[in-house]
Amino acid sequence: MNGIGAHEVVIEGPDHTKDLADLSVEHLTQVLTAYRERVMDLHRDRRLRYVLIFKNHGAKAGATLEHTHTQLIATPIIPKILQEELDGSRRYFELKERCVFCDIVQQETAETNGRRMVLQSDRYVAIEPFAPRFPFETWILPRRHVDSYQSVSDPDEMAEFAGVLKETLTRLNRALERPPYNFVIHTAPVAEGELEYYHWHLEIMPQLTRVAGFEIGSGFYINPTPPEDAAQYLREVAVET
């Protein structure tokens, strides 16, 4: 396989002192739209199979630039973690004839549950997943079934995503005193076509604990914070509206 790829840095704003949560919803909508446009452009190169969108915020999360930014890396293969997620989602669909992420959204928004819900809007939910790898790991998922981030073409839908992301990051900042974090957008590969078994989403992982020998050697993660407790703590944070 040839070593083909692309690496781009999205500078999120001109102000060196602001991070993503400090931007206005309108500004953040422009940033998120830029991600989408760059993904669509990179996928015009048929040698590239996947574009990974990720953010390292803070030195402990791997950031080497202080100015707020996001990175896009395009690769000629589908990353291992995403391929495993795709395979697992496909197996669930073959068994249940439903998308596993749609089932997660339905379960977490049920009136009798909601213990892991951080916030929700008409189109999106922010939750603490059932089995998080890290304390305060938070996912944002669209309520409707859509397999890829680049399919979010409605400006109002993108603006609503910006609003949910901003509030989620603000709650994490206030609850955890601006922690270093990573986020990754999980999205279906373009070459796969529309997938009825996969559902794009964003995963935010605050870096509050260290990955050590047990995790490296076993692939199992030790998380001392139950997701229900984390969700309640984030819900109770005061956020200006």
Question: What is the band of 85 on the pLDDT scale with cuts at 50, 70, 90?
Answer: very high
Kindly report, residue by residue over 114-147, the tens digit of the pLDDT.
Answer: 899 999 999 999 999 999 999 999 999 999 999 9
**135 half-sphere exposure, CB direction, 13 A CA radius:** 15
Kindly report, residue by residue over 26-82, the tens digit of the pLDDT.
Answer: 999 999 999 999 999 999 998 999 999 999 999 999 998 899 999 999 999 999 999
Domains with residue ranges and CATH for the chain: 6-235 (3.30.428.10)
Q: pTM score, two decimals?
A: 0.94
Q: Which two tokens stand for residue 90?
A: 């496909």
State how far the Cα of 10 lies from the Cα of 181, in Å rounded to an integer: 17
Q: What pLDDT was estimated at residue 111?
A: 65
State how far the Cα of 128 lies from the Cα of 141, in Å rounded to an integer: 11
Q: What pLDDT was estimated at residue 192?
A: 67
Is residue 43 flagged as an active site residue?
no
Helix (H) or strand (E) holding 37: helix 25-42
Given 16, 57, 67, 69, the catalytic residue = 69
Q: What pLDDT was estimated at residue 240?
A: 72
Write the Ramachandran bin of 232: left for phi over 0, alpha for psi from -120 to 50, otherwise beta: alpha
Cα 11 off chain centre by? 18
Kindly report, residue by residue over 180-235, the tens digit of the pLDDT.
Answer: 999 999 999 877 678 999 999 999 999 988 888 888 888 888 889 999 999 999 99
Segment 86-104 shows an average pLDDT of: 96
Task: Give a three-class secondary structure readout of 104-141.
Answer: HHHHHHCCCCCCCEEEECCCEEEECCCCCCCCCCEEEE
**Of residues 150, 187, 146, 148, the one with CA closest to residue 41:** 150
